[in-house]
A and B are shown apart, each in its own frame.
Chain A
Amino acid sequence: MVWKTIAGLFPSWSMLFQGFIIFIVPVALTRTMTWIGAKEGKVSTRGLRAEGTKGGGVPSAAGSGGNVQKSNPAPRKIKEGGDSVSVADHVSASMTYTGQFQEDLQKFKEMSADMADVNVRELRIGALQIKAALLFVDGLTDKDGMDRNILKPLMNAMRPFEGMTTAPEANVLKNIIIHQVILVSEIEFTANPLMSLQKVLFGSAVLLVEGMTEVFVMGTPKGRTRIGEEPVSEALLRGPRIGFTETLSDNTAMLRRNGQNTELAMISFTVGKRIQKEMVLTYIKDIANEELVEEVKRRIRTIDIDDVKESGYVEQLIEDNYLSPFQQIQNTERPDRVMAALLEGRVAILLDGTPFALIMPVTFAMLLQSPEDYYDRWIAGSLLRVLRFLAATISLFGPALYISFLSFHPGLIPTKLVISIINSRQGVPFPSLIEALIMEVSIEILREAGLRLPKPIGPAMGIVGGLIIGQAAVEAGIVSPILVIVVAVTAISSFSMPMYSAGITLRMLRFVAMFFAATFGLYGVILFFLLLSSHLIKLKSFGVPYLSMAAPYRIRDWKDFIIRMPLQFMKRRPELLKPKEPRR
């Protein structure tokens, strides 16, 4: 009798199974994340990052913080201050120019034997007919300028050598040439042939003169530059019509022009092990938090890669959590946007060779902001911002809500709408998930195709795809017309994201939401939302919580969150960045 009572209290198998599942799911998830974290720690130097205190003292959220990998620190030799360091400098450190013209020239020619684009122009300097050679790379140098400012003065140099019969001492000759002959502002000297070759390859012209153990390195780079046109990826109706270009110096100059301020710091780094590129870290000295700057510097130093092709490489190598679907560093082509971020106390990175600058740290709200919010009057700006929040919600949950309403909660749709939905779905052979997937996937393909196509065809493609396929699919009875509306509204909403990459994130998450909806209905959508929220709450960008303003909750910063208050009220910089000078 007693045993029977006790046995009766023992839960049934299905209950035990449920309990087991409830236990195993979170454990399995945690284990997987730990495992991924450990894997990642082994293959990269990312673990190094976890050492900081504030401003990124966050271990990369994957959890590698637990087991910081110190085994593979691989400290890269990167000098700050602009002058690049040759990879191979230790190989031939002892090699120098001898001063014997023929010998040196020969040496140089040997080194550049398999570089057909290195040109050698021999000449005689001035009245004394001193042997010299000008070395440059075709296409990288400004030939016109070189002819006018180097060759012509050198060959015509009569007056400086008046009264001389033989070539003067190397030092004297050097001074004469610098001071009286060459019309180039940027001159360096080097005695190292390898170094000089490197300079030549980077676009400088090198002058080799008989009797001198050092060569002149003259900055005459031309580099095919583009005029800063209006950025394609971030078009504005109102605002400066200029964007960054591929030339770093142009970009830094643009920033300088944008903000004439003596406190604007530009720190130069060289990144890339094999192919070196110049990178500039910029911030405003008396605003940006020092710890933040230090953290960014530290992370830049951990970059260990052959070549940094685009700022996207930098972004991916220094971001906090590479598993997150959300970008933790903002990229932009607009100098005004960068400047505004700097004034809020953020830090930006410019990389040579790309018009995309990186801004960090980033919060979620920034992805839905556009510089226009500030250029327009505050009511219009706020309205647009609210609209964008709405659009983001639709873009994320639109199809998911459609699926869950249709498959799970017919009672939540107004009666008349239910009738017309049922009517329109008569004869649709697929469940709503498959139906929605068909349309969503095809619209994603369309979008991708439209992006790759040449500009004149792109829009036509959109029309053909969107209108004709949609119409045909409805008529063929594959999908219901209501779904076409949902998909279209969703697609338009995701276009309204001011940050293209944020739009992609939402597009991807939309599919996840759809599967959740198909499995559990609205309950699943809410589960998905909670999952997303818990991820976002944990996510940090350089030590700043990603959802800052919403959580942790800072009512003061709300002036510039969902609505934008009039500028007169925004007297303080965002507190979440802990700027040195809180007042604007």
Chain B
Amino acid sequence: MCGAFRHFVQEYEHKMNEGEHTVLKIFLASHGRFASGLQSSCGILLGACDNLTVFDAYVDQSTVQEHLDAFYATVEPEDEVLLCSDMYGGSVNQVMFTYLDRPNTRLVAGVNMSFMMTVLGEDAPLSDQTLDEIIQDARECLRRVDLEGGGASSEEDFF
């Protein structure tokens, strides 16, 4: 099992135990329907993700700015904001970059499913260190998979 997945499991357990409800608001935008697609995929595994707002750019006339402004209108002063983009250096990421001077705002570029699943299980406050660990674990889930897969089942040493 990859690190991000394991991290998610730990955080999920922590969340269940602590019953924390501080709000981490996540905004994910992409070129085309990657953002809503990731939302759909994460929803299959996690159920509804109420703290996630998505925007698919360039599929109609609306802009990332409009949607970001509408999103920020829902953000309370005590909330933490995590902006997520599909690609570092992409135009969507460039627009989001200009929002980094807003309070409690961070931006992660080039997100994948492992990353989104993990952060969707997080609550505020989320430290920079934890966020960096989640990014590192999610990178490990982007990998070449060989025939060794996850290894052998433990029938012999089961007890």
Q: Specify whether A and B are partners.
A: no
